[in-house]
Chain A
Amino acid sequence: GAVVSQHPSWVICKSGTSVKIECRSLDFQATTMFWYRQFPKQSLMLMATSNEGSKATYEQGVEKDKFLINHASLTLSTLTVTSAHPEDSSFYICSARDAGRQSSYEQYFGPGTRLTVT
């Protein structure tokens, strides 16, 4: 149980285009999902917290107009990188908390999406 999927697993796009990444909780409901970014040989940096049915909460320094987050249902959150540039190339990872197991304080991570902007 507690599986989180991401789609696509990797994507290459041209500079100036937009890319959408999906994060799905497959066997549980997630009122809260998190989006992280990981640069090579670095740790995960929280970008934003996505709450179902409301606006995402962005971390300081993250451009909300560039990284659009939508959490339209209890099992799906999307991250859209708008007008992507080569510096946006990174490994994007989402995680989700099980709404039915808040007391576990555990986040379940997706497998990540490798974005390369040429």
Chain B
Amino acid sequence: AQSVTQLDSQVPVFEEAPVELRCNYSSSVSVYLFWYVQYPNQGLQLLLKYLSGSTLVKGINGFEAEFNKSQTSFHLRKPSVHISDTAEYFCAVSVGSGGYQKVTFGIGTKLQVIP
């Protein structure tokens, strides 16, 4: 079975500073990796995903993530955060193919941008 570990439950960062949200996963098979953002009392919105190809993935809102197979990591980064980036961020791993897919989410990292 696959699992996802988000190492930081909360990350405070000053506005315009860079940020990295860490994510490690474990799986015995090939995986697809995702980062989602959740604003208060809302559903999840996809930030970016890694399916194959280039290990550096660029997403919406200036976020990017790098897939590192040897370290089984998929850390999320942004060079300069904005107040509006304050939200909860979930890393997720998906296994399966065709019509079946199961997604496992990490516990989430709350990003607090300080003005």
Residues of A within 8 A of B (CB): 4, 6, 31-32, 34, 41-44, 46, 49, 91, 93, 95, 97, 102, 104-112, 114
Contacts and interface: CB of A to CB of B under 8 A. Distances in A.
10 contacts: A6-B43, A34-B103, A41-B108, A43-B107, A44-B105, A46-B102, A91-B41, A93-B44, A97-B101, A102-B98
Given A31-B99, A32-B99, A44-B90, A105 B41 contact: no
A31 B36 CA distance: 22
Interface in B23-72: 32, 34, 36, 41-46, 49, 51
A6 B41 CA distance: 13
Given A111-B43, A112-B42, A105 B108 contact: no
Interface of B: 32, 34, 36, 41-46, 49, 51, 90, 94, 98-99, 101-108
A42 B38 CA distance: 12
A112 B28 CA distance: 32
Q: 5 closest A-B pairs (Cβ-Cβ)?
A: A109-B43, A109-B44, A111-B43, A43-B105, A43-B107
B44 A105 contact: no
Nearest to A93: B43
A114 to B, nearest CB: 7
A34 B44 CA distance: 13
Contacts of A32: 99, 101
B43 A105 contact: no
B32 A102 contact: no
A112 B99 contact: no
Contacts of B41: 91, 112, 114
B43 A110 contact: yes
B11 to A, nearest CB: 15
Interface centre among A95, A105, A112, A114 (most CB of B within 10 A): A105
Contacts of A114: 41
Contacts of B45: 109
A107 B103 contact: yes
Nearest to B50: A105
